Amino acid sequence: MSEISLQTPLRREDVRSLKIGDVVFLTGDFVGTAGYPTHLRLIECVERGEEPPVDMRSAAFFHLGSMFREASGRIEAVYVNPTTSTRFNAFMPRLVRHFGLTALAGKGGLDDACVKAMQEVGCVYFSMIGGTAPLLTEGIREVVETGWNDLIMQFRLTRFRTEGFGPLTVAIDAHGNSQYEDLTRSALDRLPSIMQDLNESRSR
């Protein structure tokens, strides 16, 4: 496990060099949203051959909500807080492939179809811990732009500018290795012995 500082936009060679468990801090821009309707609109853009209001090409795309305010002519983030990525499993393979996304992030991981798309493109998934929201917010320097402003603030497609944003832990690498798959397999391997112990305790 290593602690690594990276600059966005991420280079594919840097993405493919990351390993499960690496801790990453990012400087530069990423695009974020917590919105299910936002993902629906992104898919509509793909289907219509249109570009979304915020550039997604080769972007780092993070599943997180935010609150921000305007101060001294700049938009400042009050807080950012990661949300559960698995809610967006149905959308992500297509978005990863179409936009050539370099990184995803959120809580809870993504399914096998997403992992396959990430492997094809060269994209990594970072795990963000909800309890670190104050620390993550410290890494936000400003909100550069927002799109689909008819949506509530947390659902808008938002470009954040960061410096030392993290900690982000590599939980799915660009080679198809998934920490979540490993944990699931380990749990399933242990299930028969757990069930046996439970049945024996009931028969006593």
The domain that holds 171 is classified in CATH as 3.20.130.10
- Cα dihedral 178, 119, 109, 78, rounded to 10, equals 130
186 inside domain? no
Radius of gyration of the chain from Cα atoms?
Answer: 18
pLDDT of residue 184 exceeding 50 = no
164: domain range? 3-178
pLDDT of residue 119 exceeding 50 = yes
- The model's pTM is 0.87
pLDDT of residue 132 exceeding 90 = no
138 inside domain? yes
55 inside domain? yes
> What whole-number percentage of the chain has pLDDT above 90?
78
110 inside domain? yes
Give the contacts of 186 (CB within 8 A, at least 6 positions apart). none
Cβ pair 42, 52 in contact under 8 A: yes
Total number of domains in the chain: 1
199 inside domain? no
204 inside domain? no
Ramachandran quadrant class, 34 (left: phi over 0; alpha: psi -120 to 50; beta: rest): alpha
151 inside domain? yes
